């Protein structure tokens, strides 16, 4: 008795599956999902030929240092890097002494507590400190940014699809005016006068609360021997730097991957040769 019931229950479930599959397909064809401004106008990041792309990719240390300089002089006003310590900067070529100077001279001091009164206070940073945020907490950060939260940038290139390309495209992708076609098709998405939003087709919902941070050539003064500090170059450099903050061990990962690949190739060859060797006698007999 149990068997036919189990069979019928199974049949019922299979039937429902087929039914909902067919219904879903019909709805998909007859009622296509509504078009949204993001679906029509959102752009995929532009591809950049990074030095760290590909299986043999490596960071360009001079570029990382320039990127750090852009972060320090432009982005640090709003964005923290809470997973990066000052002393980590030694890994992109700064000496111990330079790191010490960078930490003590950092414009934003490290939060602490006054040991006598217990009141919140700040002190000069030391190399072991994490790079401090300009804001005490998210509420303060929002208060200073028209209620938008500038995210911590330590992992941003990992948190977004095609991270390095994305950050570069976002920084260089601002468009002064929304396309007329967009406003016509989606009047709700219009950026009204007096709004603090900016049109940027690379941002997920097209209207970003961050004003274009890199706006003029030579906004940051690069040192001797560096390429010209164009907007494009600065955007690339800071994106490369943020790739390093998100994955400082990228080079080791790539080198290990290559070594493992070569090992596996050699091992496959060895396995094939021993297979041939073991079976050669038997084959001859047959
Ligand atoms: C004046 C403050 C300010 C400065 C300076 C600034 N940002 Fe922002 N940034 C913001 C705010 C606010 C947001 C949140 C935007 C939103 O949610 O609409 C943001 C968001 C971002 C995002 C996240 C976008 C996303 O996909 O969520 C990235 C990446 C970013 N900023 C990079 C930078 C870089 C790189 C610099 C320096 C070159 C910089 N920002 C300088 C305020 C700032």
Judge if 172 and 49 occupy the same domain.
Answer: yes
Range of the domain at 9: 2-32
Q: Clarify whether residues 25 and 45 are in a common domain.
A: no
Are residues 28 and 147 located together in one domain of the fold?
no
Does 284 map to a domain? no
- Classify residue 76: in a domain, yes or no: yes
> Is 80 exceeded by the pLDDT of residue 41?
yes
> pLDDT value at position 286?
58
pLDDT for the residue numbered 1: 75
Residue 2: predicted pLDDT: 82
CA 191 / ligand 1 centre spacing (Å): 18
Tell me the three-class secondary structure of the chain, residue by residue. Answer: CHHHHHHHHHHHHHHHHHHHHHHHHHHHHHCCCCCCHHHHHCCCCCCCCCCCCCCCCCCCHHHHHHHHHHHHHCHHHCCCEEEEEHHHHHHHCCCHHHHHHHHHHCCCCEEEECCCCCCEEEECCCCCCEECCCCCCHHHHHHHCCCCCCCCCCCHHHHCCCHHHHHHHHHHCCCCCCCHHHHHHCHHHCCCCCCCCEECCCCCCCEECCCCCCCCCCCCCCCCCCCCCCHHHHHHHHHHHHHHHHCCCHHHHHHHHHHHHHHHHHHHHHHHHHHHHHHHHHHHHC
| 150 CA distance to ligand 1 middle (Å) | 5
94-124 pLDDT per residue, tens? 999 999 999 999 999 999 999 999 999 999 9
Split at pLDDT 50, 70, 90, the class of 34 is confident
Task: Evaluate if residue 285 carries a pLDDT over 70.
Answer: no
Q: Is residue 128 part of a domain?
A: no
- CATH number of the domain residue 68 falls in: 1.10.760.10
Residues 200, 222 within the same domain: yes
Shared-domain flag, residues 63 and 20: no
pLDDT tens sequence across 109-165: 999 999 999 999 999 999 999 999 999 999 999 999 999 999 999 999 999 999 999
Number of domains forming the structure of the chain: 2
Instruction: Considering only residues 280 and 190, tell me which one the structure prediction assigns the higher pLDDT.
Output: 190
Per-residue pLDDT at 255 exceeds 90:
yes
Domain assignment of residue 270, yes or no: no
Q: What atom in ligand 1 is closest to the CA of residue 156?
A: 29
**Mean predicted confidence (pLDDT) in 32-50:** 92
Assess if residue 253 is contained within a domain: no
Q: Looking at the structure, tell me whether residues 22 and 67 fall in a common domain.
A: no
* Mean pLDDT to the nearest integer, 238-250: 97
Q: How far is the CA of 78 from the centre of ligand 1 (A)?
A: 7
28 and 155 assigned to the same domain:
no
Ligand 1, CB within 6 Å, residue ranges: 70, 74-75, 77-79, 145, 148-151, 153, 156, 160, 167, 170-171, 208-210, 213-214, 238
Task: Decide if 45 is inside a domain.
Answer: yes
- 279 pLDDT more than 90: no
Mean pLDDT value of segment 51-71: 96
Task: Examine residue 6 and state whether it is found in any structural domain, yes or no.
Answer: yes
Residue 123 covered by a domain: no
């Amino acid at each position: 008795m149990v068997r036919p019931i189990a069979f019928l229950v199974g049949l019922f479930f299979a039937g429902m599956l087929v039914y909902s599959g067919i219904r879903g397909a019909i709805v998909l064809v007859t009622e296509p999902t509504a078009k949204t401004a993001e679906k029509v106008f959102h752009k995929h990041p532009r591809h950049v030929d990074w030095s760290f792309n590909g299986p043999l990719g490596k960071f360009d240390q001079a570029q990382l240092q320039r990127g750090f300089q852009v972060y320090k002089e432009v982005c640090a006003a709003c964005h923290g890097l809470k997973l990066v310590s000052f002393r980590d900067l030694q890994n992109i070529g700064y000496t111990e002494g330079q790191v010490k100077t960078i930490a003590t001279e950092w414009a934003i001091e490290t939060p602490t507590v006054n040991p006598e009164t217990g009141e919140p206070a700040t002190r000069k940073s030391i190399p072991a400190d994490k790079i401090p945020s300009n804001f005490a907490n998210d509420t303060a950060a929002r208060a200073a940014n028209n209620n938008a939260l500038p995210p911590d940038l330590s992992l941003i290139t990992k948190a977004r699809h095609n991270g390095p390309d994305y950050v570069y495209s976002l920084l260089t992708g601002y468009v002064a005016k929304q396309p007329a076609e967009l406003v016509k098709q989606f009047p709700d998405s219009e950026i009204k006068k007096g709004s603090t939003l900016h049109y940027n087709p690379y941002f997920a919902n097209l209207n970003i609360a961050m004003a274009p941070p890199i706006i003029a050539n030579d906004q940051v003064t690069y040192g001797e021997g560096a390429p010209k500090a164009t907007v494009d170059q600065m955007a690339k450099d800071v994106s490369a730097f943020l790739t390093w903050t998100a994955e400082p061990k990228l080079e080791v990962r790539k080198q290990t991957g290559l070594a493992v690949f070569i090992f596996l190739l050699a091992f496959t060859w060895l396995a094939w040769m021993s297979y041939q060797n073991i079976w050669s006698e038997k084959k001859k007999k047959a």
